Every structure is written in structure tokens, then in C-alpha cells.
Structure 1
Amino acid sequence: MNASHHSKLGSKTASFLLTASLAVTLLFPAAAGAERADGAQAQSAIVRLTETGIIDGKTAGMSPADAPITRGQAAILISRALKLDIPADGSGFADVSADDPAAGAVNALKQHGIMKGGTRGFMPGEALTSEQMASLFVRAFALSDNGIQARYTDQAAIASYHQADAVRLKQHFIVEGTAFEPKHKVTYGEFALALYRAAGLDVRDPDVIPLEDFIRQPAQLGFQVSPDGKRMAFMMPWNNRLNVFVKTFGEQEAVRVTNATERNIAGFAWENDSKLIYAMDDGGNENFRIFSINTDGTGNKDLTPYVNTTAMLIDPLEEKKDEILVGLNKRDPRIFDVYRINTETGAAQMVAENPGNITGWLTDHDGKIRVAVSSDGNVSSLLYRETEDKPFQPLLTTELGDTFVPVMFTYDNKQLYAVSNIGRDKTAIVQYDPASKQTVSTIFEHADVDVTSFIPSKKQQKIVAALYETEKVHYQFFDPDTKKLYETIAGKVPGKDIILQSMNEQGRVMFLAYNDKSMGTYYFYDSGKDLLEKIADTAPWIDENKMADMKPITFESRDGLTIHGYLTLPKGKDPKHLPLVVNPHGGPWARDSWGFNPEVQLLANRGYAVLQVNFRGSTGYGKQFLDAGNKQWGKAMQNDLTDGVQWLIKEGVADPDKVAIYGASYGGYAALAGLAFTPDLYAAGVSYVGPSNLFTLLDSLPPYWESERTKFYERMGDPVKDKALLEEVSPLFHADQIKAPLFVVQGANDPRVKQAESDQIVAALQKRGVEVPYMLKANEGHGFGNIENQLDFYRSLEKFLHRHLME
């Protein structure tokens, strides 16, 4: 049970972008040496290069696949791949005559800084070596360091000016194995395969959508209207980072307010009509700070300038200019005290000291702290006081599995609206009276799923709708006028679902219209004038007609539970014997939802079926379903994923030999568990910030999660009492069973799943002589937030999956 509050600061932008983000090599024996193209791979590459006109069979392409390629022939092929104009003024090298077939290409590459010659000249007729090819490709295709840890056993034998380039080849899937063999004479087939991969032809068929259209910052998002209704703030990319902009209604140009260059702004809110507050962390460490800034970009002030401290907004105090309530764990990293901060001066005053067990605070409509929640992780208590000068008194106590989350006070500040499952399996919206310590009414409950939230109306002083999620999000209206307004809006954007963002007393509504093929469009609707006004498309470059359907599915687990999820199939392909990517969600106490998911659409566009499973232990399906996941990491929770795969194989949808598992956080754990505990099921796996050792995971929980420790012990396992269980389900202790190719991805600043979790599994496999591609980003945390790192991740992911499921 945790106190909730109506915070205006949004969730981490990274999650929106990727509600959610790789490059790799095969698992390869240490003694195997550098990868050499086999005949089938080389021939496939030659065919594709011929189709694109890079190989013409005349000036290049006549050599047998196993014959060495010359430097001149390599120049011709690279210049064609890059579509360079051939200069008319010779070769640029004394040893390359003007009538040499390679002269024009050599000169073109020299002018672009790609070809270099030593004191002996260019030597166009000499065989190209592995180290020379590495430098050619790195310069030609701008192969930068993507964070994959790579080194060769014969690194010292590589010429110093080629060493970094040789590593880049390994990072970008050109060379595999642990020995590079720098002086090896590259064959024509090897060069063709390398060129094919360096140019991205392996994953970029003419009909596929560019990866950069999926993994891209939104054009605009997060619109919020100022309290006086005269201006609108939103986030938009600037210098490759999401920053806050403000636009006055009636004017065309927006003013950029913030100047973030290292990280995206994580969220923002209006403090008053002329000031905003926003949040940022440092390199993904989740030590968020809150800043205030004027709407013209002046007066930027760090309101929480404390080292190793996390700030969370308790209440923006809409009725009090220049004041906010903020929770800070600066006194004790395990708990949050509440401070009243003056956003003009920065002065901070503690107004509620945490005695050591408070996990949440709630204010009334006057900004007074009247409710607190205490918890040891299992047993939680709701605490209440009439006024701030009185001590808190307990109202009710709940056990693990029971939920009572106070969301807001009734408008007379006397009772509470809460989300509760006390006395029932599914959470419902209830009204609770602190005076009588009783639930006085159940406002709405649903037989099949949890009711998650509601819409209050300040004008009507009541709740006008509740929200619940089955296969999609649905509204249950209690007010006929609000219902009519929603139905009118929905009728104006057919084929879209609606998220109501805000409604003012004049009947002006801001909403987001979206579906599974569109990230969404923001609109204003003026009910008085019946006027619909488009604000902005979140991702205008996405063509809905080319996106795939995300279809809700159900199947039965081996022990008889009904499991829900989503299946996305490649558009226009016969859904038979498809390569399948299982994509388990993080949490694990969360769920997948219907809507536009850029990474799912990317995978579907590349020809994969994508299975998302709300396995037992997921939220939204009631207490019993959530509790069914207790101490079932790697067991029944993993079986639900396995059963989903077997169901799709039985239905003929999935090719049993081409199944991969990829997930982040708990999903990364599930990927490791899948490869370790069902090694014959998966052809490849990707663990993105996934824990490998549940002992070290529990031992390194962030300090401010300490109050939840016993809950982790109950839901995962106690490291002392359940030592055998945790050993049994920690993939690290079963690394010897992993035989499918594995790709590991990690942020160095991750405070939840620390770098050691990835280091351990990589080291365990390397100890067996297995090469594990390992992408480590020094400036990221629990999931990559910076767009350049996201692009590295997904470029590598598509190559890795293609390598092991398509080739």
C-alpha cells in the first residue's frame, strides 16, 4: 500500500519513448579465430550486392569467392556502395595510373578521407589485409564506438593505427571470434559479406522502414495548459535532447525554456502562470533534481541541489504561488521527508519528518499533509490526522496482497477516494470515511480486471469516470454530460482511442488520440463551439498504413490459468512458421498494454512475430493472479512464457527453430532464465539491464527501496530462508546450461539492476570460453535515455536477431 498524489511531474520520458532501449556476435569458442565467410553466406551477399549494382561482374566481381581481393577492387566496391561521384582528375596516388580500372574509385575515396596510401603509394594490385579492411569500413561507414566490449587475443599483433578500427568491426558484426589475424588476406567472399553487413544490406531490404523512424524522439509531446489558460507548455527535441517549450495561444512561435544537453528533461509541470518546474537526473542514476524556471527561460534555479539525493514532487500546491511540496531523502537515503520549497528563493523548510517507516504522503485540497502510509513491505498502515498540528493516527492495516491506495480527498476535505481490493480480488474505486474508519461506498468495480484510476471534476466536486483495462483501456462514466462529451470527441477521431488530458470549466478539452499504429495526436475540443483543433502529431513520420496490428490474445497455461497478452504479426506476411521474438515486460509487477510500441513495430517490420505475455505476477488481473507469481521467478512465471511459445508453435504461427527472447529489467532476467532453464527452446536471447543473480540483486536494492525489502522477500524469496530456491532460479548459477547466443546490455549508472548483474553473467560465460557480446554505456542507467545510445542499441539488436533467426 502506497500513498498516491496528483503530481504534475510526468514519468521518465525514456519510458515513453520506449515504453522502453543493441549489437552482437555469435557465442564462439575462444580458439576458433576470426570468422570466415562460408560459401552460402558469401554467395548470398554477392547476389545482393549484384542486385544493387555494387558488383557488376566486370571491373570487380570476377574473382572466385575464395581468392584474395585486391586493394583496387575493394576501392571500386566501396565507392559504388557509397554512390560517390568519380573525379576526372586522376587517381591521387603516383602508383595508380589514370588508365587503372580502380583509378577513379581510389581518387574518390581519397578525397573523402577513406583511402590512404603509405610511402609506397596505394598499391592497388596488392591483396587487402584484415586490418586494412577494418580501417576502410570504419571510415567509409562511420562505424563509431557503440559500447560493446570487444578485444582480440592477438590484439598486440594488429598495427597500432588499425587497432581501434579492428574493434569497431567486431562491434558492428563484421568479424567474430577472438583472434583477428590482422595480416590475413581477405578473400572476395569475405569482403562481399563484410560489405553487405557494413552497408546494412542484411537488415535493410528495400521495403523495410528505416530503423530511425521507429527509434526517434517524438516531434512534440506532454502538452500542458497554464493555470490561466493563456499558454501551453510541451517538450520537443533540441540539440538531440527533449527540452521544454512554451507557446502563447494565438502566436505561431514557441519559446524554448530549458537548455538540457546531457539528458532529456524527465518531466515538467506548471508552478504558476509565469513559472515551470522540471526534473532531471544525471546519467540515468535516478537521483532526480527539481528545478524552477521562468517561462521566458530566465531564472533557472536548482531547488534540490543535494548530492546523492532523490527528489519527488508531493504536491505542486496549485493555489499557492511560488511554493511546492517535495519529498527528499537527503537526511536518510532510505526515507523521504517532506519540504516546503519556495520556487522563487529556493528556501526549503521541513514540514514533515519521516520517523523511518513512512513510504508515502498525501495532501488535502488546501495543500495540508493529512495522510501518510507506513510500511515494512508486507504490513502497511494508513495514518490520518485532522490537522497538521495533530499526530497521525492509524486507520487501517493491510497485509501483502491487499491494496488500499489513497488517491485524493473528497472536495470537502473530509473523506478519501482510494483504490482498494480489501475484501475482494480486484481493485475498485471506493470512498473511505476516516471518522468512522469505514468504506462508505464502492464507486466502481469490475468483475474481470482491476479498476486503476478515475477522473475527478473540480467543477462538479465529484468523480465523473473510472478507468479499467482489459485488452484496452476503458472508461466507466458516472456523469451523463461527461459521457456525452467523450462520445462526441471519439466520434470525431474514428479508429482511435482517447486519453483525456485536461478539461476546464468552459468545456475546453485537451486529449490524445492514439491506436496501435500511431503514437498519437494531441487535440483541443471546444464543446461550446463544437470545434476540433489539432495541436500536434507526436510522430508525424509514422505511416499507419505500414504498421502492424497488435492483437489481444489468450491461451491456457499448463496448470489451467488463463493468460492474456498481445501478438503482433508482420504486416502482409502469411502467419505461418514465422521467426518469433518473445518480449516479456519488466517489473515484473506491471503489465503490457495495447497501443503503439515502437520496438514491437520495428521487429514486426523486420519480419518477426512478437509475443507479449502478461504472465502470472503481472498487475491488473486481481490479487490471486498477482500472488500466483510469488516465489515463481524462473518457475511458473517462466512457464507462462514457454507455454505461450508452445501455443504459437502448435498453432503453426511460430517456427520452432527460430524463437528468440528479448526483454529489459525483469524481462532481461526472463531472457537469461529462458536460455538457462529451457535451452532447447530459444535460438538467441537478449538481456537488457536484466539481473542474473537474485542474491546480489536483493543485496543491492536502492536505499529508498529498503521499506519494500520484505515485500521483495515474499514475492521473490528470502536470501536466507529461501536460499536453495534463489540459487535454483538465478541464471548465473546455471550459466553452463546456456548454449544459445546471448547479448547483454547494461547502463553503468543503473541504481536498480547494477552493472555487477551483467558483469557476472558475462564473466561466467567467458570463463567457459564463450564469447558474449556486452554493450555497456557509461552515461546510462536503468534503460537508455539518450537517443544516440538507443540507436546503438536497436541497430545492434536488429543485426543480432537477423543473424540468428534469419540467416
Structure 2
Amino acid sequence: MKTKTFALIGAKLGMLAATGAIALAAVPANTQTPAALPIEAYGALPALEEAVISRSGAYTAMLMTANNQRQILVVDSSGAPVKQFVVGDAKVRGIDWVGDEAILLRRTETDTVAYGTGQNKGEWARANVLPLDDNRDVVSIFAEQRSIANFVAGFDGIREVEGRWKGFFRGYRMGRRSGEDRILHFRPALFSVDLSTGEAEQVAYPAGENEFRSWLVGDEGKIVATLFIDQKSGSWRIENEGGKTIVRDKQEEGRISLVGLDASGSSLIYRSYDDDLAETTYLTLPLAGGEPREVWADEEVHRLIHGDDGRVLGIVSRSREVMLSEGQENPALSELYAKWTAGDIDLESWTPDLSAVVFATSGNYDSGTWYRMDTTSGTRAMLGLERPFVQGLAIGKIQTVEFEASDGLTIEAILTLPSGKEAKDLPVVVLPHGGPTSRDEEAFDWWAQAFASRGYAVIQPNFRGSTNLDDSFVEAGDGEWGGKMQTDIGDSLRALAERGIVDADRACIVGASYGGYSALAGVTIHQNGYRCAVGVNGVYDIEDFFRYELSGQSSILSRGIERLVGEGTNLDAISPTAQASKASAPVLLVHGRDDTVVPFAQSVLMEDALQDAGKPVTLIELKGEDHWLSQADSRTAMLKAAVAFVEKHNPAD
């Protein structure tokens, strides 16, 4: 269920002393030290990664991995196998049901396509329809459409239209230019695709120059709302099916999006960031027009519960309350969240009437477990384990800790302890997350557990700017790249050292993407006494990266990046490449050669800067690997290298 987060903002979009006491729940030490499992047990892709329930509830499809081969297993409501699809080494990004008839497989490939006037290398999305009936052919979305590029630019759901299943996909129109087929328009149109034949029909035009468009597809396959955003000014408006503007406003960074229809289908729900309130608000508005009204005003929305017709059935709040629309109740779901206190739990799939759901758990003694539940009777059955070979005492204890930074801000961190060791003066790995607008949760984490299995305590700080709390906490990270976001990470180490749990003199820092930036910043911009640093697919030269990232991009994206990094910030002062001469510890860099989010060149620049400064550095290239480490062999190679590097410079014993 849980994988390491590699999202990096802008990719698709003085030390502080800890002055407050740390709140740490007592965790009993295991009386037995389990034998260390091989690193492959942690680097392997999950044996069960996703499970989705069909429209009627008759079937459940499970995305699984065995012997490095991805497969989709379909079982009936009793758990009996119905169908198996072997998809090999495909990089699967999601599966969905087409009624009860077929599986929509969403995947990506690193590829080079003719785009505009040149070749563009990217991680391109593609989709296939896999029918349960052996007499029906597999359908590849856009593959046979000469006038549409052979990749998917967005997915807007599946609807049943006049007895046929239609998928709504964004795509690019193709045509002849300079003697070869090329994309003609640099904004996607919306297409309705017959999922039994692959026939595509354009149902909405692409956006104009300097404009962004998104669409809300109703339960009968009609576009009931269109959002227009001016990418220079941030002005936006929503039009209904008849082309009438029903609401307009301005959000300078374009933080506005369509969410879905309400339970009645007569009003839409949209999400916007309110600059005055400094928070994200959800509003509902009749499709015919009227006055927007805020919904879930006092709740932090953790999960939206969508029906398969695009309607919003309810939410799961951050406080684990299930709130259904129009006052409806589902006592079984509310009770499930209320009573499941052993770790992380989340709804993953459900029937339109919520009579059957799939949920997944993770946490102490639980490396990831998937269940199917009948909400009428409350009965549930286990579908499978994510990591069947990592169980019981092999799982390091996980808990949330709190500490106070010197400016008074309360910070949370996830602490994972090695099994069989007393929580006293432990060697430690600090493992900041990517994003930076992301978070770590009290759940099984394959990186953290790999290090814990080797005798290390692992600290995963949710530094300011993380999404584990409210919008004001996220905003506290604005302009703090290399600043307080970084000192929060150092504060987490000092806070736990003051409690005697870890030894701050026996620490390394490891991270990926923005976490990779944090790892290198921790030994260059700041010297927190780390014995070593490991950066994976990280950003190290801020100016070079944003030049790459913002090339040809809109003003709203530029303003968002400026807010995060800080207006007028000296980028050299917060770039590990420019501060390489200050490096205080050996560095290991690992980077996927096919990373299309953070270019491989970022690690080359960092390696060159450290070598020029006479600092010890090693760069490992992962051939054929992307930003998310999608392949088991690459994950394992990265983990082996990182663990060996940490053990060399910061032995656990």
C-alpha cells in the first residue's frame, strides 16, 4: 500500500535547537532479535500492490508481482480465481474496472516521441483494456488512431453511455509537419473512447494559448462543467454544459480544480486555495448557477469517496471520520476507522452503493495487508499481503513523535526502531521525504525498514511544508528551502538524541528527490555532524533544475515555484552544488538514467562539484530506471548500495 514518495514540487507542477520536550509513547522492546532478512525482501515490488472491486461487487482485481512479473488476478466474491492477466515488467500505474467486463490497465513507458518540432523524451502514459471474455480482443487506447498521438495525456473516468462503456481520455491531435507525423497542438483535447472497440471521438476542444482546461464528465458521458484557467494571470472561470459561466475568480498560482458532482448530480464540487484564509476550501455550486457554498468547512479532507459516475459520495477526514453526502450513514465504515488503531488504514476501492469495499492496512507487525469487506454484515476477508516475507518481529516498531523547533513550531516525525534492540543511544539514519509537499505516515516503509533491519533507528521528519497537518503548516515551508525546512530535519535528530534514544554522533542522512536535496544540504549548506549522505534522484543545482523545469511553462507555475523557494532568494546559497566545498562527509549519489522528472544531469553536476572540491563522492547510475524506481532490480541495487555505504561510514555495531 505504501511506497516511498518521490513527488517533487514543480515537476508536474543559524541552527535551531530543540527547546520543547519530545512526546514519545513507550514502545516495549522485543525480547528476541530476528535474523536480518536479505535486502531483496525490502527492494522487491509488493506481492500485492492494488486491489479494486467491480461495479456490482461480483469481482475483485488484484495487481500482484511474482518473480518480478506483474500480473492481475481476478477473483470472485468468494475468493475463487476467475482470470489471470500476465503483464510482465510493465510499469503499472493503476487498474480500473470497466463494469464487470474488463480491466483498464494504466501504465507508463519511458519513450521518445515527436513533439512539436523535435523529439521529446518523457514518461508517457498508455492504457489497455483487458476483457475477461477470451473471445474479445485487447484494446489499446489511441494505438490505432492515426490522428491522435499514441499516449494518454490524462484520464477522466469511465461512464456507461447508452449501454456501452466509454473511457474519457485526454490526447493530442497528430498531423503532418516537415514531412513527418507530429503533434499539432500543444494542449490536449478530450476524447470519448469506446472501450470494446477503441474507437475515439473528440468531445472537447483543447485549450487556447496560455490557457488550461479541465472537464467534468457527468454520469451519462456528457461534459457538465469546464474549468478555464488563464496561465498568465491566474484568472479562472467554470462554464456549465450550456456554455454559461457560473462562477469566476482569480488564483494567482492556479490552485483551483474540479472535484466532481454532488450526490444528487445537480451541483458540482470544486476545490480552491483561499489566499485570505490561507487554506484549501471545497465549494459546491448548482450547475444551473447560483451562489457557491462551502462544504466540509471544519474538516481536513484525507480521502474523497467518488462513485464510478463521478459523483462524490463523501469523504474520509484526517481524523478518520467517514462523512457521507446528504446525511447518509455507513456505520460499518465509521466503526472500521474508529476501531482500527493498530496503524494506518485507508479505503482503496468500493461499489457505488458502498455495500462492499476494499481497504488496506499497514503499521506495527503489519507490512501491508489488503481486505475485502461486506459493509452490510461487517464481515471481511483478507485478500493478501504486500510483503509476505517481512512479517512479525522482522518489522521494526513504528511510532509518531513530536518536538518543538526553537521558533515554537511543533513538528512530527515517524520513528522506526530496530527489533530486538533497546531504544537507547542507537545509530541512526535520518530519512526526509520527497515532495517537499508530501508526508510520511505511521506505516510500513520499505526504505526505513531496510535500515532498521540492519540495526539503525530511522527518523522521518515531517518538516514544515509537509502535508501531515493543515494548510498553515504547509505554508510555513514557503521560502524555506535550505532554511527552516532543513533545520527542522536537524532538530528531529537532536530532539531524539536529547531523549537518549539515538546517538547524534552516529548518524547518516538519506533521501530521494527533494529528500535527496535535503540529504546533500545536510552536509553542505548545514553541517549537522552526519557521517555520510546518500542522495537518490535528487535536485542539487536549484537554478539549473528550475531552468529545465520551467522551460516553456506558465506564469502561474513560475509564481508557485517562487513562493516555495522564496522571492529573490540567492539560489547558489541553497544549492548543494554551489556549496560543495563545505561538504563535511562522504557522499553517495544514485540516479535513474531515465529519470524524466529530475534530470540525471543533476547528479553529474553534484559529482563534478564535489570532485572539484576534493570531496569523497561516488555516483551510481541505474540504467533504464525512472524517477520512481519502478523496477525491483533497481530498488534492490539502490538499497544495497545505500545500506553498504551507511554501514561503512556509520557501523551499527
Q: Deviations over 1:628-657 (max 9, x none)?
A: 222221112111112222222222222222
**Alpha carbons 2:97, 2:103 under 8 Å: kept:** yes
Residue pairs, 1:353-432, within 5 angstroms: 353-356=206-209, 357-358=211-212, 360-375=214-229, 380-387=234-241, 390=243, 394-400=247-253, 404-420=256-272, 422=274, 424-432=277-285
Decide which structure has the larger Cα Rg and report it. Answer: 1
Change (3 A) 1:780 1:649: same
Name the counterpart of 1:316.
158
Which of 389, 396, 403 is matched with 1:541 structurally?
A: 389
Change (3 A) 1:801 1:479: farther
**Alpha carbons 1:257, 1:296 under 8 Å: kept:** no
Residue pairs, 1:498-577, within 5 angstroms: 498-500=345-347, 501-503=349-351, 505=353, 507-577=355-425
Change (3 A) 1:699 1:456: closer
Structure with bigger helix share is 1
**Alpha carbons 2:2, 2:443 under 8 Å: kept:** no
1 CA distance for matches of 2:236 and 2:287?
Answer: 10
Give the secondary-structure state (helix, strand or coil) at the position aligned to 2:579: helix
Give the secondary-structure state (helix, strand or coil) at the position aligned to 2:87: coil
Deviation at 1:514, TM superposition (A): 3.4
2 CA distance for matches of 1:275 and 1:250?
Answer: 19
Superposition RMSD in Å = 3.3
Residue pairs, 1:285-304, within 5 angstroms: 285-296=122-133, 299-304=137-142
Name the counterpart of 2:193.
341
Name the counterpart of 1:72.
none
- Of all paired residues, the percent bearing the same amino acid is 24
1 CA distance for matches of 2:308 and 2:97?
Answer: 18
**Alpha carbons 1:419, 1:453 under 8 Å: kept:** no
**Correspondence 1:640 to 2:478:** no
**Correspondence 1:728 to 2:573:** yes
User: Structure 1 stretch 678-687 or stretch 424-433: which is displaced more?
Assistant: 424-433
**Alpha carbons 2:367, 2:395 under 8 Å: kept:** no
Change (3 A) 1:747 1:277: same
Q: Deviations over 1:386-444 (max 9, x none)?
A: 31x526565232244x9554311124433223445535344454433465553324334
Deviation at 1:730, TM superposition (A): 1.0
TM-score w.r.t. the length of structure 2 is 0.82
Change (3 A) 1:492 1:299: farther
Name the counterpart of 1:453.
303
2 CA distance for matches of 1:557 and 1:254?
Answer: 55
Change (3 A) 1:334 1:554: farther
Residue pairs, 1:590-629, within 5 angstroms: 590-629=438-477
User: Structure 1 stretch 542-551 or stretch 682-691: which is displaced more?
Assistant: 542-551
Q: Unpaired runs of 5+ in structure 1? A: 1-14, 22-204
Name the counterpart of 1:328.
171
Q: Which AA in structure 2 matches 1:235?
A: L
Name the counterpart of 2:432.
584
Q: Unpaired runs of 5+ in structure 2? A: 8-32, 112-121, 174-182
Q: Which AA in structure 2 matches 1:413?
A: G
Name the counterpart of 1:484.
331
User: Structure 1 stretch 339-348 or stretch 378-387: which is displaced more?
Assistant: 378-387
User: Structure 1 stretch 434-443 or stretch 232-241: which is displaced more?
Assistant: 434-443
Name the counterpart of 1:351.
203
Structure with bigger strand share is 2
2 CA distance for matches of 1:334 and 1:703?
Answer: 14
2 CA distance for matches of 1:221 and 1:540?
Answer: 12
Name the counterpart of 2:58.
230
TM-score w.r.t. the length of structure 1 is 0.67
Which of 747, 760, 772 is matched with 2:617 structurally?
A: 772
Deviation at 1:453, TM superposition (A): 3.3
Name the counterpart of 2:594.
749
Give the secondary-structure state (helix, strand or coil) at the position aligned to 2:408: coil
Deviation at 1:585, TM superposition (A): 1.0
Residue pairs, 1:254-269, within 5 angstroms: 254-261=82-89, 263-269=90-96
2 CA distance for matches of 1:781 and 1:624?
Answer: 33
Name the counterpart of 2:180.
none
**Alpha carbons 2:433, 2:460 under 8 Å: kept:** yes
Deviation at 1:281, TM superposition (A): 1.8
**Alpha carbons 1:257, 1:294 under 8 Å: kept:** no
Q: Which AA in structure 2 matches 1:384?
A: I
User: Structure 1 stretch 347-356 or stretch 423-432: which is displaced more?
Assistant: 423-432
Name the counterpart of 1:699.
547
Which of 535, 538, 546 is matched with 1:690 structurally?
A: 538
Name the counterpart of 1:785.
630
Q: Which AA in structure 1 matches 2:106?
A: A
Q: Which AA in structure 1 matches 2:261?
A: F
**Alpha carbons 1:365, 1:409 under 8 Å: kept:** no
Give the secondary-structure state (helix, strand or coil) at the position aligned to 1:385: strand
